[in-house]
Amino acid sequence: FPSLGVDIGYNTKFGFLNGGVKLGYTGGNYTELLMANFRGSGVPELDNNDRSTQWRHTIDLLGRMGFAGNATVQPYLQLGGHWTFGKVVSTSNTEDDDLSDYESTLGPKAGIGLDFALTPRIGIFLEGNSWATFEDENIDLSNGVREEHQDFDVLGFAGGGLRYSFGSVFTPVEIVSLDCPAELQVGDSSTFTATINEGEATPPVSSRWEFGDGTTASGLVATKTYNSPGTYTVTFNASNDGTSVSESCTVDVAEAPSPATVASIDCGPRTVETGESVSFTSNVRGDRPVDCEWEFGDGETSTNCNPTHVYREAGTYNVTFTASNEYGSDTASCTKVVESPQQLADICTQVTEFNAAFFERNSSTLSAEARDALSENLSVLERCPNLCVDVEGFASRAERDSDDLSEARADAVAEYYEDNGIDSDRIDAEGMGARGQTTKKGGNAQFRRADSIPESCGSDGENTDNDPAVGSEPNVDEGM
C-alpha cells in the first residue's frame, strides 16, 4: 500500500460468453518485501543511500473471459503474462547510474473478478490477481530464504476500480407492439405487423413469425392465409447478439361463408301439353337457409324448391329459378314449349299387332330384314304416345341355351326402340324360352323370333305390363 493500476483493452461478445484482451499497468508498494528477506542470513546487505525501494511496477498482457452475457453482474477470469521491475540495490553494486539500480522479472499472471454494470458504458469491478516472478532474486535480492530454496516469488494484488467502455453501447431488442387480426375466415389473406425498438436495438436484428399451423415467415410484416378453421397462437420472435424476446397473439379462423349456388335444375320434358302437370327440381349448394323462387314465364311463381306447375295456354315460356341466402344468390333458366293436346291418329286406337323380328339360328343379332320390320313398328310408336309395347323373345327347342337366347332376342328389339327415341318406360321386354319343334324343312325358323305387342300406356305414360289381348302367342302348330 498504496497501489494503482490502469488497463486498456478490447472486449467482444459471443453468445452467453464475452471475452477479449487487455494491456495493463499495476504499481504498488509491497511492504516488507525486502525486510522479510533481510532478516535471514546470507542475504546481501542493502545499500543505505535510499537507492532501493519496495515499489514494484508490473506491465501485463492478459486474456479475459466473462460468463454472464449481458447480465448486470459479470464474473470473469483472466490469464496471461507479466513483466515486473523495481529498484533493488545491494552494497556490492558500485555503479552510480539509475539503470544499474533496476532489476526485472517475467512470469505468468492470473486473476478473477466481478464486474458490476452501472450504465451501458460505466461499471465498477473487484478483482484479485497473482503472478509468479522469475528470477527470484531479481524481485527481492534473495534466492531462497530460510532454506526453502524456491526459485520464484509470488506477488498479489487485490482491489477495485472504475470501468468505462469506449465502444458502441449494446441495446437489446424489444417488442413495442404486435398487431394481429383477431378473427379470419378460411382463405382470407391478412397482414401481421410487429413494432420493435428498431432505431435503438443493436444490429443485426433477426425476426421470425410462427403462425401455429407449422408455417413461418421472417420480417416485421408478414402476410398469412389459413386453409383450415381453428384457433391459432401466433408467436413473433426477435433477437440480436444473443438476446431474444417474443410475444404471442391468438387468431380465430372460421369457415368462409358459402353463398347460394345453383348446381343444376331439371325442368322435365322440353315439350308438354296444356293441362299437364310438370315437375321442376333444383339442386342448390350453400349455407342454409336457402330461399327458392321459380318464375314459370306465365306470370305464376313458386317459392317451393321442387314445385309442380300446370300451363293453361300453349306457347313458349322462359322459366327462371333463383336461389339465395344471406351471402349471395344464383340463377338458372330453361325453356318450356307448351302445346295443345293433339288428336290421335286412327291407327293409335285401332292397331292390334306389330311386325315380328326373325333371327338366324342361335343368334340374337338383328338382321337388315328384321330392322326393316321393326322400323314400321317404330313409326307407329312415334306417332302414338298412347301406345306402349311388350317385346317377347322366343327360341326353338333345337337351339342352344334357349331361355337365355329368347331373352337376348327380346332385349335386342327393346334396345332398337330405345336407340331410336322411344322412352324405356314405354317398353317391357321378356324372354319366353323355347317353343315347339317341327319336322318340316325350315319349320323351326318361325320360333326364332321376337314379337312386338302393342298395348295402351297407363295414365302416367308408362307400360303397365298387362298382357294384351292379341299377339302374345303365335298361331303355330307344335309337335314332333
Please tell me the predicted confidence (pLDDT) of residue 104: 84
Please tell me the predicted confidence (pLDDT) of residue 33: 64
Looking at residues 436-459, what average pLDDT do you find? 74
Looking at residues 11-20, what average pLDDT do you find? 78
Model confidence at 474, pLDDT cuts 50, 70, 90, reads very low
pLDDT digits (tens, 9 = 90+) for 151-183: 677 888 888 889 988 877 778 899 999 999 999
Please tell me the predicted confidence (pLDDT) of residue 29: 80
Domains and CATH numbers, the chain: 3-164 (2.40.160.20), 175-254 (2.60.40.10), 261-339 (2.60.40.10), 347-456 (3.30.1330.60)
- 430, burial (CB in 10 Å: exposed 0-12, middle 13-18, buried 19+): middle
φ, ψ (nearest 5 deg) of residue 330: -150, 155
pLDDT at 2 over 80: no
Looking at residues 14-20, what average pLDDT do you find? 77
pLDDT at 144 over 80: no
Please tell me the predicted confidence (pLDDT) of residue 248: 97
CA dihedral for 432, 400, 374, 444, sign (positive or negative): negative
pLDDT at 96 over 70: no
pLDDT digits (tens, 9 = 90+) for 327-369: 999 999 999 999 887 666 788 888 989 999 999 999 999 999 9
Q: Residue 61, Cβ neighbours under 10 Å: how many?
A: 14
pLDDT at 45 over 90: no
Q: For the ranges 86-100, 122-136, 351-365, which has the lowest average pLDDT?
A: 86-100
Model confidence at 147, pLDDT cuts 50, 70, 90, reads very low
Model confidence at 271, pLDDT cuts 50, 70, 90, reads confident
Looking at residues 425-453, what average pLDDT do you find? 78
Model confidence at 438, pLDDT cuts 50, 70, 90, reads very low
Please tell me the predicted confidence (pLDDT) of residue 62: 92
Residues 207, 220 contacting (CB under 8 angstroms)? yes
Please tell me the predicted confidence (pLDDT) of residue 447: 87
- 265, burial (CB in 10 Å: exposed 0-12, middle 13-18, buried 19+): buried
Looking at residues 108-121, what average pLDDT do you find? 91
As a whole number of angstroms, the distance between CA 148 and CA 145 comes to: 6
As a whole number of angstroms, the distance between CA 7 and CA 157 comes to: 14
Please tell me the predicted confidence (pLDDT) of residue 341: 78
pLDDT digits (tens, 9 = 90+) for 375-421: 999 989 988 888 999 999 999 988 999 999 999 999 999 999 999 99
Comparing CA positions, the residue from 307, 299, 296 lying closest to residue 335 is: 296
As a whole number of angstroms, the distance between CA 115 and CA 329 comes to: 74
The percentage of residues in the chain with a pLDDT greater than 70, rounded to a whole number, is 82
Q: In sequence order, which residues have a C-beta less than 8 Å from that of residue 401 and are 6 or more positions away?
A: none
Looking at residues 56-60, what average pLDDT do you find? 91
How many secondary structure helices (H) and strands (E) does the chain include? 5, 28
| Torsion of Cα atoms, 442 then 443 then 446 then 449, to 10° | -60
DSSP helix/strand/coil, 298: coil
